[in-house]
Amino acid sequence: DRQLYSAQHDEILAGATTDIYFIRTMEILEHMNLAHTEVVAEIFARKPGMLAGVQEVFNILADKNVEIWSLKEGETFEPKETIIRIKGSYDEFGKFETVILGCLASSSAWATAARECKEACNGKQLLCFGARHVHPAVAPVMERAALVGGADNASCILGAKLFGKEPSGTVPHAAFLIAGDTVAVAKAYDESMPVSDPRIILIDTFKDEAEEAVRVAEFLGDKLYGIRLDTPSERGGVTPALVEEVKARLCKAGFPHVKIIVSGGLYPEKIRQLAQAGVDSFGVGSYISGAHPIDMTMDIKEVNGKPIAKRGRIPGIIDNPKLIKVK
C-alpha cells in the first residue's frame, strides 16, 4: 500500500505521471496512422535563467530513438531561446512532454535563485537549507540544483551526494532545547564529532546572541570554528548591526577569528548587506526552495521536414549556436 504520493522512478519512466492528454494524442495519431510522424520539437522558456535538470531529460530519452541538441547543465538562457531540440518519430518521445518539461522547470528556477544568492554573497559561502520547504521526493533535486547554481553546499544528505559533495549543516534548535543549555551541547558536539568537522554552534536559542557567542567561545576556545545567528523575526531577525556587535564583542573577548554564519529569511539584498557587515556564510532556504518554476514550453516546429508552428509562434527551427548535439 502506498506510503507517499510522490512517483517512483519506474512510474515516471513508464509515463504514469504524464498528462492524460498525451496518451489520448497517441491513440488519435495511431488511429490516423500518423504516430510515426517525424517531428522536431523545441523547448524554450519565457523568462531568463540558468538551466538545470538536463541529465534527467537525457536519461528519460536514453533508450528512445531520437536526436537531441541541448544547452549544458548550468548554462544561462534568455527568454524564447531554444534550450533543447528533439528530433525523431513523435511516438518515441511525445508522451514524455510533461515529464521532460517538469524536470527542467523547477530545477532551473532553483539553480537560478541559488545563482542570485551566490552573487550577492560576494565571495562568501552559500549553503542551501531549503529541503524542509519541498516534498521530500524533490528535496535532493532542489539541493542538487542549488549546487549547480553555485551554492557551496547543501544540507539534504541525498541532494549533496548527487552533486558529489558531503552534506553540510549544523546543529538545530531541537538539540539545544532538549539539552537545555547551549554550552552543554557545544561540549557534546566537540566530544563526539570528528576533529576535522568544523565546530559551528547555533547561539540564539536561549540567550542574547552576543552573550551566548562569547560563552561558547570561552568554552571551546580555538576549537570554535564559527557561530550561527538565526534570530527569529519576532526578535528583529539578523541585522547588519547585530552582526557587527557580535563580532565586536567576540573580538573584545579575545576571539577575533570566530566565523559568523547566518540563516533565516535571507534573500539577495539582505545577503549583500550582511556580507558587508562581516558575515562569512549564508544558509538560505526559502528564497531558493520557493523560487517560482521557470515554466518551460515544448513546441513542435517541424513535421516531416516542413517548418510549422501553432499560432503565436514562428514556424520552423529557431537556431541557437550554443546548442550541442548530445544524442
Q: Does 36 bind Zn ion (CB under 5 A)?
A: yes
Residue 213 to residue 219: CA distance in whole angstroms: 10
Q: What's the grid cell of residue 12? A: 515516471
Q: What is the Cα–Cα distance from 149 to 165, expressed in whole angstroms?
A: 14
Determine if 89 is a binding residue for Zn ion (CB under 5 A): yes
Instruction: Return the number of the residue (306 or 325) whose C-beta is nearest a copy of itself.
Output: 306
* Element spanning 228, H or E: strand 224-229
Q: CA 125, CA 147: separation in Å to the nearest integer?
A: 12
**Number of chain residues interacting with Zn ion (CB under 5 A):** 4
Burial classification of residue 1, based on how many CB atoms lie within 10 Å of its CB (0-12 exposed, 13-18 middle, 19 or more buried): exposed
Told to check if 91 binds Zn ion by CB under 5 A, we report: yes
Which CB sits closer to a copy of itself, 132 or 257?
132
Judged by CB, which is closer to a copy of itself: 103, or 123?
103
Q: How far is the CB of 56 from a copy of itself (least distance, A)?
A: 5
CB of 9 closer than 8 Å to CB of 17: no
What is the nearest approach in angstroms of a copy of itself to the Cβ of residue 173?
A: 5
Partner from a copy of itself, Zn ion, none contacting 36, C-beta within 5 to 8 A by type: Zn ion
Instruction: Indicate which of a copy of itself, Zn ion, none lies near residue 182 (CB less than 5 to 8 Å, by partner kind).
Output: none
76's contact among Zn ion, a copy of itself, none, with CB below 5 to 8 A by partner kind, is none
- Could you tell me which residues come within 8 angstroms of residue 270 by beta carbon, excluding any fewer than 6 positions away? none
What is residue 8's DSSP assignment? P
Decide: is 286 part of the binding site for Zn ion (CB under 5 A): no
Tell which positions 118-177 bind Zn ion, by CB under 5 A: none
Contact of residue 102 among Zn ion, a copy of itself, none (CB under 5-8 Å per partner type): a copy of itself
Tell whether the torsion through CA atoms of 270, 273, 277 and 280 is positive or negative.
positive
String of contacts with Zn ion for each residue 212-231, x by CB under 5 A: ------------------x-
- Smallest gap from residue 47 Cβ to a copy of itself (A): 11
Cβ atoms 160, 154 nearer than 8 A: yes
Footprint on this chain of Zn ion (rule: CB under 5 A): 36, 89, 91, 230
